[in-house]
Structure 1
Amino acid sequence: MTAREPLPKISVAMCTYNGERFLAEQLDSILNQTYKNIELVIVDDLSTDGTLLLLEEYARRDGRIRVIRNGQNIGFVRNFEKAMGECSGRFIALADQDDIWFPEKIEVLHNEIGENWLIYSEISPVDFEGNLIGESFPNVNRLEGRCPLALMLNNCVTGHASLIKQELLLVAMPAMSNMPFHDQWLAIVAASRGKLKASDKVLSYYRQHENNTVWKTKSKRIEAKYLKTLRDVERVCHFIRAVLEADILVGDDKELLEEFYAYYSRYNKVFYNFKLRSFLKKHGDTFLALFRQQEKYRRRICRGKWYFIFLAFW
């Protein structure tokens, strides 16, 4: 009988910034995982509250924790890039500072990842006190396999729900700092190789509060609709250009994305983007698979600047 192979080390990459309010509960949920061979690498982005003192207290009590403090504020994407670069485990789990992990989270994702580069679980949103909200987040379809172009307009993979392999970082890391969201970029790279997997298990609570990076409390719109839409279009166009420049897409994906960009970027020039609509009628399952009402979304994104300006007078 051969000895049982030891479980591989799994690194948890956490980024903190003024997160003292919820941090202890998150740290406890990570350190009490049923999967024991972990290290917790925490990079603090120059917090000005009691975050760093709390981290140092936890590090004194648990040798699995390593705390790094930045010399200057670098923002959450570069902070996660740095944290992942400091990880030594074969697998890396991403952690925000304010969520709550179920005890079996790492163990379940490790058991299910298989040959994939990234696996992500379901999550349950809670309010700032930890009470279940009863909403789904993100409110889109959950994708897996080879589907990178479907992740360009929105994202179904939240970072704190993910477990990734080091192989993914080798491909994704060179362009990471050029991306607006690290988790969306990691998902696209994994999906470009058909190595994205969706677990059907709820394994964490996602806390909604006023300081969330992605999900913020809704506020009243005070600017013109065409300006808000223009800003959204410009953001997506910038992201598409960054993905194309990263040169990670394979097969026909790069040519399809370039064609989509040529039509999508005409927002500022048209009343209604009929060329984009025709393109998406043909390639809807490729670009719009995230959306539960594809036709409704297609109609919306084909409205140009002059549509909103003209209808504002009616």
Structure 2
Amino acid sequence: MTMNDKKIAFIYCVNNRELYEESVRYVRSLYVPEGYKIEIITIEGAKSITSGYNEAMKKTDAKYKVYLHQDAFIVNKNFLYDIIALFEKYPKLGMIGVVGAKTIPRNGIWWESTQRFGKVYDSHTGEMKLLSFKETELEYEPVQAIDGLIMITQYDIPWREDLFTGWHFYDLSECQEFLLAGYDVGVVRQNVPWCVHDCGIASAENGFDNDRKKFVDVYGENVQRLNKTFLPLVSILIPTYNRLHYFELALQSALNQTYENIEVIVCDDSMNDEIERLISKYTCKYDNLTYIKNPVRLGQFENDVKLFNLARGEYINYLMDDDLFHPQKIEKMMNYYLHDKNNEIKLVTSHRQLIDRNGNFLKDIVSTRRLFESDTIIDGKMMADYVLMSLINYIGEPTTVLFRKSDLDEPFGTFLGRKYLCNVDLASWFNLLAKGKVVYISETLSYFRIHDDQQSQSIEMQLNGIIDFAHSIIEARKKGFLQSDRNYELALKHWLDYINRFIDEILNNSEITEIFNSNISDRIGEIQKYKLLMETEYHKLVQQLKRTKYDFNIDINAENNSHAMILRMVGKNKKVLELGCATGYMTNILTNLLGCEVSCVEYDAVAAEKARRYSNNVIVGDLNNFDFSQHFQKGEFDVIIFADVLEHLYDPLDVLKRVKPYLSANGEILVSIPNIAHCSVIAELLQGRFPYKELGLLDNTHIRFFTRSGVIKLFQDAGLTIKEMNRTVCPPEQTEFRTNLNVFPQQVADYLRSLPHADTYQFIVRAGLVN
């Protein structure tokens, strides 16, 4: 039969005339290009959908055929123009639909794929709503499967009624037939959905599972082959050394991944041939497995680099030979990369489960505790700061992380030209973190084995790790890490504290000292060099911070300044206890302008020394555990001031309760405290950010956060009566975040502005004892 390229046939298998007639009304309302005509072909009483479609195909000479369900309604008026333009432009495009999947899982169920595309209004849940998958930037996205609600062709390939005699998997079968014939199958790009599918709650009865198994049996091999062509190659790299039993378990966990396109490369650095003999039974079975026996032992670092250079994959995941992968590890991690249109993600990690030598679960340690309860995307530099300030590898060992090979511009285990001896993984993670974002998957996707043979347990490796961290911290700012002086200070301080404790433990243990002196004495010089450098940097930074942070000039008459408002509340000639006086910028005014007798408690000794210019009684102490009874008399003070202090304390309620007895009967506690419910903070949260700053609402040294109700409850629980509550205000665009609410839809912006205390920057509280 000669095909008429100016004709479009709409083909239905019908068992509900009412639905069918409504669908046809939509078809007849479409714009028809000049010179074209449409026809409607109805098959009633078909024994299967494949037989009905084959019967209809033979009845028409239309080149273009639209196979659609009777409950599918085409709402795109330009539908005919759009499909004809696509088919004329792309002769290889055999069939198109509105939703589908690029890859098909091994079970054959396309909608369980991680690579779904398209959109449709759909009621399969019982409620009509938009079903939207991944967008395509192409005119059509090449896929393996399109849903049978609407299937549009420009070529005729018989439907497999010899295989599918019911109402399921006819659509996926026809897609595979087109693909096997060399045509493309595609999901069209839609700005708005082309179709409404009023299917109601789907049923998996009437032979669904039998048809599913038949589809997998007939097309499974081709599906897996095509999955590989549609998915980027991931290289799983296994460096191994003399751990036969653990290695085989690790290898099996790599080969059993659900992700369809992997290669596994093993580099054997063992001193014997046990692994070589073992792996032969796997290499003959898996064509994606490569085994290499190093003729000369390379060592961990060089073996890792060799594997990296051998990898053909676009993405890489190391697997240490004593660790294990979850079967879906690569698939779940790759799903984030496959949805990352702008290539912003540079590293994907997850929670990892500690296991013992027998595979039994162990309790989490600090480094393996779950960071988030749900999957979270984090700024890479923020994550790097978190690791550097804590000296803890929260990201994970090489087994844990999946990354893009091209993103790593230094050899694996190298950071800014230095080969790391212990923190080999962190060296590369830092390189990646500097370039973009991190995904943390809360689900356990890898298993980190703890056993006696690990090098990381030795004194030498611990010492190497300390040196590696020192290098990371000193060089961090070259990569954009630790840009906040406060963060840099904390990283330096924690490293110095740690090395001092470590050396003390060695020097106090004669057995360890003997090992230390005999085996790793050459490391002492490097430790001493870094210790001197870190101490110099730390003290220089501390002095700089004391000159700049929490040291202000105050105009006591300023109307919208919390400190000025507190000073005006104090009045003259009072006996004042100022808690957290910093460098004494308020103490100066209290003493010299208001004539008050001021006692102070300040945590920082350097700042306290400056405050002594204005008070003769400045005590260095930590309010979290300060013993007021050792310094003051009960009922001694007319005024106690917490100016921007409570939010820095671990337990502000406890501190208020403990200081309360030192207030005179008619005395007052004056407090200023930031409002975490300011609309600029909420706006940041809505955009997935919680940006700590040097100063302000999210000062990077704040521990506790308060709303107005939280402030009121705090004072109530402390047994204090709030006499007066004032506030300072700041429009969102003038906060440290420079928030522009106009980036949100108008309704959202208006709602944020209307929130109670949306513009309240700080609360100022005047409180007294309960009568």
**2:444, 2:237 → 1: CA distance?**
20
Which is higher, the Rg of structure 1 or of structure 2?
Answer: 2
Look up the equivalent residue of 1:82 and give its one-letter code: K
User: Is 1:155–2:155 an aligned residue pair?
Assistant: no
Correspondence for 2:480: 250
Look up the equivalent residue of 2:336 and give its one-letter code: E
* Counterpart mapping for 1:107-256 below 5 A: 107-113=331-337, 114=340, 115-136=344-365, 138-139=367-368, 142=371, 144-145=378-379, 146-147=381-382, 148-152=384-388, 153-157=391-395, 158-171=397-410, 173=412, 175=414, 178-180=419-421, 181-214=423-456, 216=457, 235-241=465-471, 249-250=479-480, 253=483
Correspondence for 2:101: none
The alignment partner of 1:34 has SS state of coil
**1:254, 1:72 → 2: CA distance?**
46
**1:253, 1:81 → 2: CA distance?**
31
How far apart are 1:213 and its partner, in Å? 3.6
How far apart are 1:206 and its partner, in Å? 1.9
More RCO (CA 8 Å, sep 6+): 1
| Greater fraction of residues in helix | 1
The alignment partner of 2:399 has SS state of helix
1:259-290 Cα shifts (integer Å, max 9, x gaps): 889876796689xx7839948998xx89xxxx
**2:326, 2:540 → 1: CA distance?**
43
TM-score by length of 2: 0.31
Kindly indicate whether the alpha-carbon contact (under 8 Å) linking 1:46 and 1:71 is maintained by their aligned counterparts in 2. no
Correspondence for 2:240: 16
**1:138, 1:251 → 2: CA distance?**
20
Residue among 298, 312, 331 paired with 1:74? 298
Kindly indicate whether the alpha-carbon contact (under 8 Å) linking 1:121 and 1:203 is maintained by their aligned counterparts in 2. yes
How far apart are 1:61 and its partner, in Å? 2.1
Instruction: Label 1:256 to 1:232 Cα distance change in 2 as closer, same or farther (>3 A).
Output: farther
How far apart are 1:253 and its partner, in Å? 4.5
The alignment partner of 1:160 has SS state of coil
How far apart are 1:58 and its partner, in Å? 1.7
* Counterpart mapping for 1:81-120 below 5 A: 81-113=305-337, 114=340, 115-120=344-349
In structure 2, list runs of 5 or more residues that go unmatched.
Answer: 1-95, 97-140, 144-228, 373-377, 501-527, 550-691, 694-702, 704-771
Query: What is the Cα-based RMSD across aligned positions, in Å?
Result: 4.1
**2:461, 2:270 → 1: CA distance?**
29
In structure 1, list runs of 5 or more residues that go unmatched.
Answer: 220-227, 287-294, 296-314
The alignment partner of 1:56 has SS state of helix
Comparing 41-50 with 153-162, greater Cα deviation is found at 41-50
User: Is 1:55–2:279 an aligned residue pair?
Assistant: yes
**1:63, 1:174 → 2: CA distance?**
29
The alignment partner of 2:471 has SS state of helix
Instruction: Label 1:276 to 1:236 Cα distance change in 2 as closer, same or farther (>3 A).
Output: farther
Instruction: Label 1:261 to 1:243 Cα distance change in 2 as closer, same or farther (>3 A).
Output: closer
**1:211, 1:232 → 2: CA distance?**
15
**1:59, 1:248 → 2: CA distance?**
45
1:34-83 Cα shifts (integer Å, max 9, x gaps): 11210001111134261222223322221111112223222222211211
How far apart are 1:202 and its partner, in Å? 0.6
| Greater fraction of residues in strand | 2
Kindly indicate whether the alpha-carbon contact (under 8 Å) linking 1:172 and 1:189 is maintained by their aligned counterparts in 2. no
**1:73, 1:80 → 2: CA distance?**
12
Correspondence for 1:30: 254
1:164-212 Cα shifts (integer Å, max 9, x gaps): 1013222454936711232111221122223322111111222221123
**1:31, 1:261 → 2: CA distance?**
40
Look up the equivalent residue of 1:162 and give its one-letter code: V
Instruction: Label 1:137 to 1:102 Cα distance change in 2 as closer, same or farther (>3 A).
Output: farther
User: Is 1:40–2:40 an aligned residue pair?
Assistant: no
Kindly indicate whether the alpha-carbon contact (under 8 Å) linking 2:305 and 2:411 is maintained by their aligned counterparts in 1. no
Look up the equivalent residue of 1:151 and give its one-letter code: V
**2:484, 2:463 → 1: CA distance?**
19
1:103-135 Cα shifts (integer Å, max 9, x gaps): 111000101243311111111111111111233
**1:55, 1:13 → 2: CA distance?**
15
Kindly indicate whether the alpha-carbon contact (under 8 Å) linking 1:237 and 1:261 is maintained by their aligned counterparts in 2. no
Corresponding residue pairs, total? 272
> Equivalent pairs: percent with the same residue?
23
**2:252, 2:462 → 1: CA distance?**
38
Residue among 539, 543, 555 paired with 1:275? 539
Kindly indicate whether the alpha-carbon contact (under 8 Å) linking 1:45 and 1:74 is maintained by their aligned counterparts in 2. yes
TM-score by length of 1: 0.71
**2:428, 2:235 → 1: CA distance?**
16
Instruction: Label 1:162 to 1:193 Cα distance change in 2 as closer, same or farther (>3 A).
Output: same
Instruction: Label 1:122 to 1:252 Cα distance change in 2 as closer, same or farther (>3 A).
Output: closer
**2:484, 2:247 → 1: CA distance?**
41
Instruction: Label 1:137 to 1:82 Cα distance change in 2 as closer, same or farther (>3 A).
Output: farther
Kindly indicate whether the alpha-carbon contact (under 8 Å) linking 1:39 and 1:65 is maintained by their aligned counterparts in 2. yes
The alignment partner of 1:159 has SS state of coil
